[in-house]
Amino acid sequence: MEDRQEGRGGIATLSLPGRIVVAVGAGVVAVVVAVHLAMVFLHVAPENTMSRKYGSAVDEYIYPEFEQNWKLFAPNPLQQNVAVHARARVRLPGGTTQTTGWVNLSAIDGEHIRGNPFPSHVSQNELRRAWDFYTGSHDAKNKPDGLRGELSKQYVKRIVMGRFGPSLNGGIVEAVQVRSVTEPVPAPAWSGESYDTGTDTRVLPWWPVTDADVPGSSGK
């Protein structure tokens, strides 16, 4: 009997309070997972009674971190390389300002992915999805489409500030500017397909930054 008891492990070895804590924790995790899956399902499912009734709540939960799209499976998959660049205006200690050169943030993410068998979700998707979110909620003149447009702007700005940090080149970052450079993916030589070889650049206005735009700051 003693040998069998010594061989027991896992939850069976816990005291009653410990078992209760584990059970409650497992229940909370199950509820969180169920809610997340339900929200994602309502977001991607065709419009229905539930999505019409709770659409605003679903959008608040999904955007911007969990947004889904199906570009890979579209009738005309995306055939462009889109690179997101950013630069900063820095206030130096003497009171002068300095504008940095453009930094290719997408290329930096690409270097983190290339040759890495287990690239992070951040390197693969954060900037790319944020830019998709921004362009999908602004018109060609960068006018936001309601609350989602403003939210996407703040999201992109926080990503840029997360890459640059509040201090740069010995000064304080007071504004950032973002642009995208879109180049078509060349068609295979054997296809005989013609394609546009031009490069399209979209430059956004300067965005002033505050402490609240720096990830991890107190926002004061």
CA angle 167–173–178, rounded 5-degree value: 120
What are the residues facing 184 on neighbouring strands? 80
Residue 67 has pLDDT above 70, yes or no: no
Give the E-state strand segments of the chain in sequence order: 80-91, 97-99, 103-104, 167-168, 171-184, 200-203, 207-208
Q: What is the pLDDT of residue 1?
A: 46
Q: Of 21-30, 46-55, 102-111, give the range with the top mean pLDDT.
A: 102-111
Residue 65 has pLDDT above 80, yes or no: no
Tokens at 120, concatenated: 């992070």
Question: Other CB atoms closer than 10 Å to residue 164's CB: what's the count?
Answer: 21
Q: What is the pLDDT of residue 33?
A: 93
Map out the domains of the chain as residue ranges. 2-62, 77-213
Q: What is the pLDDT of residue 57?
A: 84
Residue 4 has pLDDT above 60, yes or no: no
**Mean pLDDT over residues 6-17, rounded?**
70
Residue 30 has pLDDT above 80, yes or no: yes
The lowest-confidence range among 60-69, 131-140, 191-200 is 60-69
pLDDT tens-digit readout, 80-99: 889 999 999 999 998 899 99
Which has more confidence, 127 or 65?
A: 127
Q: Which residue has the tokens 């940090």?
A: 165
Q: How confident is the model at residue 77 (pLDDT cuts 50, 70, 90)?
A: low
Q: What is the pLDDT of residue 78?
A: 63
Q: What DSSP element (H or E) covers 153?
A: helix 146-164
Measured in whole angstroms, the distance separating CA 41 from the mean position of its chain's CA atoms is 19
Q: How confident is the model at residue 213 (pLDDT cuts 50, 70, 90)?
A: very high
Q: What is the pLDDT of residue 146?
A: 82
CA distance 86 to 107: 12
φ, ψ dihedrals at 77, nearest 5°:
-60, 155
How far are the Cα atoms of 50, 51, 66 from residue 130, in angstroms, in the given order?
27, 24, 11
CA distance 105 to 117: 21
**Mean pLDDT over residues 112-117, rounded?**
90
Q: Of 34-43, 101-110, 145-154, 180-189, give the range with the top mean pLDDT.
A: 101-110
**pTM here?**
0.65
Contact between residue 100 and residue 168 where contact means Cβ atoms under 8 Å apart: yes
Q: What is the pLDDT of residue 202?
A: 95
